[in-house]
Structure 1
Amino acid sequence: MSKQRNPNGMGTFKQRKDGRYEWRQKIDGQERYISAKTMKELREKIKKITDLPIIKNKYKVDDWFQRWLEIYIKPLKKKATYDQYRIIYNTHIKTVLGNRKLSTIKTYDIQSVIAKMNEKKLSTWTMKHARKIMNIAFSKAFEEKIIAENPVKSIEIPIKQAKPRKTLTIEELQKLFKAMENSRWLWSVKFALVTGLRRGELLALKWSDIDWQNKRISINKSNSVTGLGDTKSSKIHYVPLSENAIQFLNEQKDMLKKEFNPILYNEDLKGKALIFPSESGKMIRPDSYYTLIRRFSVKAGIKASPHCFRHTFVYLTRGNLSLKDLQNILGHSESTTTLDIYGNMLNDNTKKNIEQIDNVFNTVDKEMDKIKEEKIKNTGKIIPFRRAK
């Protein structure tokens, strides 16, 4: 297809050698460019921007991302989200695109960021997150008419084998419980194992979050390194209150009474009503809780951390909960998140497969025994022929 020039300076169409269609428009020395798989798709895209002026700007990628982070992310998102976006941008995006003009960035430039991250052997999750951050930032630049189109499209993320999540075996749990038998933190560990709570959610839990009548736990806060705040997904979710969980809560309450914890009588602390406070009745820092669990795991001769209690919960309940139920209990915004993290674990039917294989070969053994018995019977009826002397 040869170039087709539109009237009134509306730009030029062209079909490339790879079959895609492109459109270019130049006004006052400034050019904008759009491409699409089909001419119909291309015309739809053009309709959206032809009435928009080409903005003469000297924005570099770094200029725009710094503005975007400070205006659109920092005031509107959790501090942890802002910090995460900033670190990923500074570490992986800025180093590749930071000094480039924002208006010159194409899809292959975005793909090059992912390629360099892949060379560093970063996880699929980290690369997906970088793509998400670039997509949000470039989409906002398009909305503000700073760029002609969002270049973050058709970006492929290399598929990698996910690292296995650390779970504890029954034997390891027995060792850990033995090492913690005289510890005030034993019930927090057992409660985490039967609820799948994150460390921050566990430490922020209050007695008022327990709905005894409907047997569920309201997860609405989380304690992180930056202090008490919303949950990781910024949404309230509910976790079933099992009989085991009720027992562990009652044991925890008795323990607080026995140690005469200040949270039971100090008016300032009483209002907080934490379920798993420190000995002084205050909320324990997440890193402090991590340290004490690691210390007990060393004593038990195993490797364990607070987050592996969550993984163990998923592993032990696999096959008994639907994906949707598990997503809700874990507080994931999307089921794809649950699958990304626990897909291999949820699909682990090893025990079931072993039983099925054993059943098949047990049947084979029985059939073979029958055949053997039939042969013995038949052999007994045969009269050997010998020539008479």
Structure 2
Amino acid sequence: MSLRPPFQIPGSPNWYYEINRKRRSLKTAHKAAALRLFNEIKRQYLAGKLLVLSGECPVTLGDFWDEYEEWASVNRPRHTYNADMLALKQLLDICGKTIRLDRLGKKDADKIITACRKRGLKPNSINNYIRHLRSVFNKSVEWNYLKENPFQGVKELRTEKKPPSFLSRADISRVFLAVKDEDLRRLIMAYLATGRRRVELLSLIWEDIDWQGNRYFIRKSKSHLCKWYPMAPAFKTILQSMPRGNGKIFSRWQHPDTITHNVKKALVQAGFSSMRLHDLRHSFACLFI
């Protein structure tokens, strides 16, 4: 841990200081005021350092929230970042901003589980909060705020495991008959022909299509394996039926959740109310086999 006295940077009239190699503004252009503010910060900093030397953590949940949000907004995929912050909010609602990180434990996770159950959330949703809390607080260990993750040993709720659902060829015909929107029909066909995740398809641009090589390039992937994939004849036919341009191929769909909502609606209309978008991925695998 380190603290750097007030300094100025080119192009800004304000004074700054650094704490643990992170630059922060004192929000004043007057040196005397900057020194007064810094001395108060230094007093609080030294008090916190004594806690560190005694083996305690001076960082509060509110401070950690701010730091993690700044880091995750740049370094985590958007959907992961949203899920992380939602899980953190559950903890913040239970414990408040002022609790120190070293005071957190499994009991707080139990409180979240109880609160979620009272709100009628399903076990899968609650387990998602637990998984993201564990992931978030791995950072508190990496940043040397804590020696171990306070939520590492939290057990997830038991859920009923169902076999994967998938559409047969006859089922797919029923879905297509129920879908009147041509763009949506093409999108569903693209899922069935590629087995891609929704963000992967949504991020596809025309420049990612190699017509001669019969392949396409995935830039965004959950496994971060950005590479070329062979293009099935069915997928190529879908693309050839669409007006070519620049930028996104499926440009009408601006957000992954919109895709989920529309595909789910189509499945319900076709008589498959228990199925979801991800089951199109299962369907691709079964058809491929």
| Structure-2-length-normalised TM-score | 0.62
Give the drift of 1:172. 2.4
Paired with 1:154 and 1:298, the residues of 2 have a C-alpha distance of 39
1:155 is matched with 153
Equivalent residue, structure 1, for 2:17: none
Alpha-carbon separation, structure 2, partners of 1:285 and 1:151:
33
Q: Which residue of 2 aligns with 1:135?
A: 138
Could you tell me whether the CA contact under 8 Å between 2:123 and 2:157 is conserved in 1?
Answer: no
Contact 1:74 / 1:82 at 8 angstroms: preserved in 2?
A: yes
Gaps of 5+ in 2: 1-46
* Greater alpha carbon shift after TM alignment, 81-90 vs 163-172: 163-172
For 2:249, give the aligned amino acid: I
State the distance in 2 between where 1:233 and 1:166 align: 23
**CA offsets 1:72-104 (integer angstroms, 9 cap, x no match):** 323433444333222101113651475433344
SS state at 1:157 partner: coil
- What CA deviation, in whole Å up to 9, does each residue of 1:136-180 have, x standing for no partner? 22431x2xxx55x22448614336335535433443212112223
Provide closer, same or farther for how the CA distance between residues 113 and 238 of structure 1 changes in structure 2, counting only shifts above 3 A.
Answer: farther
Aligned length: 232
SS in 1 for 2:90: helix
Q: For 1:57 and 1:275, how far apart are their aligned partners in 2?
A: 49
1:38 match = none
Q: Which amino acid in structure 1 is aligned with residue 194 of structure 2?
A: T
> In 1, Cα distance between the equivalents of 2:78 and 2:183?
32
Q: Pick from 126, 129, 148 the counterpart of residue 126 of structure 1.
A: 129
Partner of residue 108, structure 2 = 113
- Structure 1 or 2, whichever has the larger Rg, is 1
**In structure 2, what residue type is equivalent to 1:175?**
R
Deviation (angstroms), 1:290: 4.1
Alignment match of 1:243 (pick from 190, 208, 233): 233
Matching residue of 2:99: 100
* In structure 1, distance between residues paired with 2:101 and 2:191: 47
Note closer, same or farther for the CA distance 1:167–1:56 as it changes in structure 2 (3 Å cut): closer
RMSD: 3.7
**Cα offset for 1:209?**
1.2
Equivalent in the alignment of 2:270: 300
- Report SS of the residue matched to 1:74: helix
* Matching of residues 181-260 of structure 1 within 5 Å: 183-221=182-220, 231-232=221-222, 236-250=226-240, 252-253=241-242, 256=243
- What CA distance in whole angstroms lies between the structure 1 residues aligned with 2:249 and 2:131? 36
Report the Cα offset of residue 192 of structure 1: 0.9
Mapped partners of 1:190, 1:58: distance in 2: 54
Tell me the TM-score normalised to structure 1 length: 0.49
Of 247, 250, 274 in structure 2, the residue corresponding to residue 276 of structure 1 is: 250
Please, which of 241, 262, 282 is the counterpart of residue 311 of structure 1?
282
- The letter of the residue matching 2:267 is S
The verdict on how the C-alpha distance between 1:117 and 1:201 changes in structure 2, with shifts beyond 3 A counting, is same
